[in-house]
Chains A and B, each alone.
Chain A
Amino acid sequence: MDMLQVSVWRGAASGGYRTYEVPRQESQSVLDVVTYIQRSIDPTLAYRFACRVGMCGACAMTVNGVARWTCRTHVTKVAKGNAIQIAPLANLPVVKDLVTDMREFFDKWARARGQFVPSATRKDDFARVASDSPGRVAANAGIECIGCGVCYASCDVVSWNSGYLGPAALNRAWTLVNDVRDRARRERLAAVAGDAGCHACHTHLDCSERCPKSIAPTAAIAGLKRAVALAAWKGEL
């Protein structure tokens, strides 16, 4: 039987790679490989997954140096010969082995004012937003983000500037800036401006290149830069 040589990160911030031999199978995903190791070779391996079908984003890891959803990554697509290297997502503290601490990632969504602030009450009628209105179209482009952290782990700016809000939080802010029902636009634009916000983006496009949902956070960040500049110009920042 063909065997895969799988090098897996073991430990936390300090640790090392340990190599496991895993039988190669047809239509095998990288998550299948990790699951095999944990169930059949070393039950102490820690990793995270839930849906296994690309809906939850929990299984994101670094595979051969690239952040990916392991459930949607076929071994044939990434294996170099018979070798694969699997590590936790970059730019996040490692809890154990392949499990990262996502708190900072989601705290940054909150810092970017990622919460919807309604302008209407429950007594008001439903807002009617035309599906082809510019705001709705702009929000649609980023609304499918499931918060897997692949973009955040792929972002060079996050690795240089730990305070940087990152592509996912800024993408979320951009969807809300375009939501006509929201009333926190001014506060949100102030929250995403500056060195920790949209102005820190260098447009490397790694986030857009790696997003498994084909979202382009770079475009959202460019939109925020325009909106923030316009707000500053009008004295609304």
Chain B
Amino acid sequence: MGAKSETWLWIAQRASAALLALCVLVHLLTIIYAVRHGLSGAAILERTRGNAAGLAFYSLYVLAIAVHAPIGLRTLCQEWLGWRNASLNWFMAAVAVALFAFGLRAAWAVFV
């Protein structure tokens, strides 16, 4: 991959990391709130169903993960496995699509 593409991957990873820092914080606070208030699964679903803001937030979270994780994993594969040809990029694109699809499916499942 050329210098320009590599640079954009780096920018995408840093930007998604910044977004993740915020999303993870909100996600953790949500978990702490749910645990401390002893919310049941049903009570949580009651809050998430039809919650468009919640769906939007978790969609953004999933998007940040789908961008961030494959880029880091790609570097790991290059350095640890010596996998450096074009097949790695296709594989990581598939990982990104899978992460996005499965994540979105989970967010959608608690929305409807």
Interface residues of A (CB under 8 A from B): 157, 160-161, 190-191, 193-195, 197, 199-200, 225, 228-229, 231-233, 237
Contacts and interface: CB of A to CB of B under 8 A. Distances in A.
Nearest to A157: B79
A169 B75 CA distance: 21
Contacts of B78: 161, 195
Contact of A229 (B2, B11, B75, B79): B11
A161 B79 contact: yes
A199 B79 contact: no
Interface in B25-74: none
B90 interface: no
B10 A197 contact: no
B15 to A, nearest CB: 10
Main secondary structure of the interface of A (DSSP, over half): helix
Given A160-B79, A160-B80, A161-B79, A195 B10 contact: no
A237 B10 CA distance: 14
Question: Looking at B4, B6, B7, B11, which has the most chain A CB atoms within 10 Å of its CB?
Answer: B7
Given A199-B10, A225-B10, A232-B11, A194 B79 contact: no
Give the size range of B's interface with the partner: 10 to 19
B1 A228 contact: no
A228 B7 CA distance: 7
Contacts of A237: 3-4, 7
Given A160-B79, A161-B79, A229 B3 contact: no
A233 B8 CA distance: 9
A225 B10 CA distance: 9
B6 A193 contact: yes
Given A190-B4, A195-B6, 10 more contacts: A157-B79, A160-B80, A193-B4, A194-B6, A199-B9, A200-B75, A225-B10, A228-B7, A231-B7, A232-B11
A194 B80 contact: no
A197 B3 contact: yes
Nearest to B74: A195
Given A160-B80, A161-B79, A194 B3 contact: yes
A195 B1 contact: yes
A78 to B, nearest CB: 30
Nearest to B11: A229
A194 B10 CA distance: 9
Contacts of B10: 199, 225, 229
B68 to A, nearest CB: 15
A36 B1 CA distance: 51
